[in-house]
Amino acid sequence: MNEPRIEENRVLFGADPTEGIVAAELAGRFIRLFIRDKSGVRFKDAPFRPFILMESPALLDGFGHTAVIEPLAGEEGFRHLAFFRDWRECLAARDFLARKSGATPSSPAAPYLFLSDPVQQHLLLTGKTLFKGFDFDKLKRLALDIETACAEGFEFSNPQRAEDRIISIAVVTSLGREEVLAGPESDEAEMLSRLTEIIRREDPDVIEGHNLFRFDLEYLRIRAERHGIPLRWGRDGSLPRVSHSRFTVAERTVDYPRWNIYGRHVIDTYFLLLIYDVSSRELENFGLKAAAIHFGLSAPDRVYLDGHEINRVYAESPETLKRYNLDDARETLALARLLSYPYFLQARMFPYSYQNCVVRGTATRINTLFLREYLRRRVAIPAPGGDGSFAGGYNDVLVTGVVGPVVHCDVASLYPSLLLAFQLEPARDRLGLFLPLLAELRKFRLAAKKRTRDEQDSRQRDYWQALQQAFKVLINSFYGYLGTTLHNFSDVALAAEVTRRGREIIGTMLAWLAARQARAVEVDTDGIYFIPPPGIVSTAQAERLVRELSQALPSGIEVEMDGHYRAMFSYKMKNYALLGYDGSVTIRGSALRSRGTEKYLREFMEEMIRLLLADKGEAIIELHRSFLRRLHAHDFDITWLAKTETLGESPAIYRQKVRQGKRSQSAAFEVALRAGREFRAGDQVSYYVTGSGKRVAAHENCRSVAEYDPSRPDENVAYYADRLDQLLQKFARFVPGEKALFD
């Protein structure tokens, strides 16, 4: 079988074939390329021509520096490319243009286009990308994890407290080297210096960690400053550049201190989990240990410790803490290999660093493919704009409650398929890149999927799986790109037309199924859960039915069977649970699986859903009573009743805002204020509710979990019982004998 030759596509991978680039950094008037070959890493300085795109060269009239301006083919948009002598002059031109036009670089109405990343500029203009001709397993990766002490009376470590020192640092590399720096053998300053020595010696291309930006790196930085230890981790011996940044994925936004380490990349597996969960919605939480168990990465003899045990284990059994720390680093390295592989492959395509490929949005990444090719051909680039509002996909819940059996079918890549089937392309793509690029991606994704199925070698199979997954994300993002208003080649009117056709396709599918006595349960944009017609019993029969449905649709629109389930609990839109024929239960939706609720409520809900799916709804009454008995008997560990919150500001600022009426009172902050100890922004507080009566205000009746005394339990049983009752009330209509629930 011939291997797919996708890297020959210059639009996707850039026109420059240079292989082995593992990093790129600004170096004066050059971009320093770090190239890995058999002898190690060498650097090559390539001339750098920083640029700004403009609507008119007159915009630079009065600018005090010389710019070389090239006209671009075309009569609208950014028709002129201005080159500057160095990055400093480019920044000066940016500021000049902002003052003269009255529009900041981020304004959609700005008559110029400035890209703030010099490496991105160079890669865009030259067609170079990272990692060409380079296998993932040749990438030198280093995972690190730290353990920290916590002062008595506090629940969580804070690097600003003198007592909360780093007590252990574990380092694991992709070459199999492992080392643990632990306090009993050296003091904190020595550990920090030793860590820098290890990083310099191992010379990794990538530093990995879990919650690395917001915890480990920030902790290391603050403790290093306390001791006056320079963390010279850059390939040129420089200190990391730390800046405030923001990462957005779906509905979640994470503020974090971004680290830029010269010549290296930083990959945080916490971010990778957030991205993974957008489509899977399978994770109970985003912790390292839960993720390692979920993906089958944890070793059988893995050491587990609760956070509150760290101080004690460090004092009593430092070797156990070492093993625990090392297990964390090992799991981080394994998790990063699993989840970062698609971004490694994307770094071959997009003009971004590996680190930036993770945090940049897919629409932004796609936009750069068009920018790069238009710049290569020296064609004018349209300015962004347009109205961003239009009707969405077909979404509906037609049946609630427990039904079964249920089949799930969906249209393979519905919106991209519509674009290709009906040859729909954005109006501003003068070069006609959009559809050929989309078709090429789909062709190579299908080839990569076939190689995944056929490949016998596990490493090659991993490569093809990661490649097809990367293509899948890109393919499905082409439609989303159209509907944005911030990108140069988007087309909101076309996005609206695609969704209209999508609704038509789903409507046709529903009518076809209804004509055959199938009963639709839920419709979600590109898929349908339905109860099959009488006589359709086996999975093979269901698959045949779905194939017939697919054949009834226009050419290019393919329907696939995604699952066959014994039962489905349909609660509300995008909130449901499925019981597989193997007994497995899948729960989807925040209303059924909220990470923010107390653990006892999450456990109750999961068990209740299992009973409903198993047609044992009458047992929910006894389940409810058993949880109430456990509450009254103080049988739940206090952590099952507690909530943990992160203080987003200092308690002093919180108190001032409350006095000024700028915010409401919060239990977590009230606990921190009463503690008699100094809490800071970023500290976490775990608390439970005390008092009597179910209607108490939590902020007036709360205590720290650290203060709980099991011999004198004071949790508010009535409050927690009422929380349980309120949860059950939401599902009472689905429970047989519901009138007996609250007797």
Distance CA 643, CA 598 (A): 6
Answer yes or no: CATH 3.30.342 is held by domain 6-134+356-376: yes
Confidence of residue 469 (pLDDT cuts 50, 70, 90): confident
pLDDT score recorded for residue 307: 81
pLDDT per position as a tens digit, 623-658:
999 999 999 999 999 999 999 887 878 888 999 999
Instruction: Provide the pLDDT confidence category of residue 132 given band limits of 50, 70 and 90.
Output: very high
**544 CB-near residues (< 8 Å, 6+ apart):** none
Topology, domain 384-422+491-595:
Palm domain of DNA polymerase (3.90.1600)
Distant-in-sequence, close-in-space partners of 72: CB < 8 Å, separation ≥ 6: 78, 79, 80, 81, 374, 378, 379, 380, 381
For the domain with range 624-740, which CATH number is right: 1.10.132.60, 1.10.287.1080, 3.30.465.10, 3.50.50.60? 1.10.132.60
Sorting pLDDT into bands at 50, 70 and 90, what band is 555? very high
pLDDT at 740: 56
Q: Which residues contact 163 (CB under 8 A, 6 or more apart)?
A: 149, 151
3-class DSSP assignment, residue 33? strand
pLDDT of residue 648: 76
AA letter at 467: L
CATH topology of domain 136-349: Nucleotidyltransferase; domain 5 (3.30.420)
**Res 429: pLDDT:** 94
Tell me the pLDDT tens digit for each residue of 279-328: 666 676 788 998 899 888 999 999 998 888 899 999 899 999 999 999 99
Question: 331 and 297 in contact (C-beta within 8 Å)?
Answer: yes
| Residue 540 confidence class, pLDDT cut points 50, 70, 90 | very high
Contacts of 340 (CB under 8 A, 6+ apart): 208, 267, 269, 272, 358
Stretch 592-617: mean pLDDT: 90
Domain boundaries, the chain: 6-134+356-376, 136-349, 384-422+491-595, 624-740
- Classified as helix, coil or strand, 92 is helix
Task: State residue 1's pLDDT score.
Answer: 37
pLDDT (average), residues 109-127: 96
Confidence of residue 738 (pLDDT cuts 50, 70, 90): low
**The tokens of 270 are what?**
């916490």
User: Over 70: is that where the pLDDT of 232 sits?
Assistant: yes
* Residues 158 and 166: beta-carbon distance below 8 Å: no
434 and 487 in contact (C-beta within 8 Å)? no
